Amino acid sequence: MNPSFGQTRSDIRRNHALLTPESHEWITQPDWPGAELAFLISPDMGAKFAMGLVRAVEDLSEIAPAAAGVARFIFVLGGEVRFPGNPALGPEGYAFLPPQEETTLSASKGTSFVLFEWHFLARGDLPAPVFGSVAEIEGTPLRGDDWLMVQKLLPTEAGFDAEFNIMNFHPGASLAYVETHFMEHGLLMLDGGGVYRLDDQWYPVGAGDAIWMGPHVPQWFGALGRDSSRYLIYKNYNRGPL
Ligand code: UGY
Ligand code: MN
């Protein structure tokens, strides 16, 4: 679509949204010196979490942790993100930072990453930070279907209130049925593409597209093309509906 003719594939609805790169609005924020941010999903649209893209237009030096009570998840798209005392995170490296985690973030100019933030539901002791890389995580078939593999990036134990997964679809694979659930999703397509059904809309999607799925929105994905499709997906987890 040609944005200079007033067109975009972005579509913001009551219970879901497709956010496509040509409509991203890059802004600066006082607590992110040296960075530009494009917030794609936020509570203003009905979500209970925020998801955005961050790009370092200068070196990022000791960016402060999230606000009190807020957890952070960072997924590196390009370049290098550093947390003191930990190996640098390269592309597809990730970090989960629970609330009250004091560690600061630094990154080289040109680095880009996905940022998720949400009000953490603490249950007993807070979990420790998690640092990892997608390449180190084994995949398991979703409901026994090895054409659709899931990599779980975080431990599933009760202290964690969110999950972040990579869904890997072989060409032609699809979700087995149209899911409806009270949990929300924030999604970024990493590779490939296909058709995403959200509520009663069918959207062609490809790498770089982001999606918000609100509670109960009917959702289904079918991968198209000759190459595999992958997406990163957030889900509130270990939390009941009330
Ligand atoms: O975990 C999930 O709910 C996932 N299967 N949903 C999705 O990919 N839209
Ligand atoms: Mn789902």
Torsion of CA 85, 155, 126, 98, to 10 degrees: 50
Amino acid code (one letter) for 219: Q
For the Cβ of 236 lying below 6 angstroms from any atom of ligand 1, the answer is: no
28-87 pLDDT, tens digit each = 999 999 999 999 999 999 999 999 999 999 999 999 999 999 999 999 999 999 999 999
Separation CA 159–CA 60 (nearest Å): 30
pLDDT value of position 145: 80
Separation CA 47–CA 133 (nearest Å): 27
80-121 pLDDT, tens digit each = 999 999 999 999 999 999 998 999 999 999 999 999 999 999
pLDDT value of position 17: 98
Residues 54 and 105: beta-carbon distance below 8 Å: no
Domains along the chain with CATH numbers: 24-134 (2.60.120.10), 136-236 (2.60.120.10)
**104-to-62, 63, 85, 214 alpha-carbon distances in Å:** 5, 5, 11, 31
Closest ligand relative to 180 C-alpha: 2
* Complex ipTM tops 0.90: yes
Residue 48 backbone zone (phi > 0: left; psi -120 to 50: alpha; other: beta): alpha
Q: What is the pTM of this model?
A: 0.97
Q: Is the pLDDT of residue 146 over 90?
A: no
DSSP string, 150-168: EEE-S--STT--EEEEEEE
**pLDDT-derived band at 143, boundaries 50, 70, 90:** confident
pLDDT value of position 87: 94
Lowest mean pLDDT among 1-5, 12-16, 187-191: 1-5
Closest ligand relative to 162 C-alpha: 1
For the Cβ of 230 lying below 6 angstroms from any atom of ligand 1, the answer is: no
User: How far is residue 19 CA from its own chain's centroid?
Assistant: 12
pLDDT value of position 59: 98
153-165 pLDDT, tens digit each = 999 999 999 999 9
Residues 160 and 170: beta-carbon distance below 8 Å: no
Structure tokens at 107: 């990154």
198 DSSP 8-state letter: E
Amino acid code (one letter) for 186: G
Q: What's the mean pLDDT when you consider all of the chain? A: 96
For the Cβ of 219 lying below 6 angstroms from any atom of ligand 1, the answer is: yes
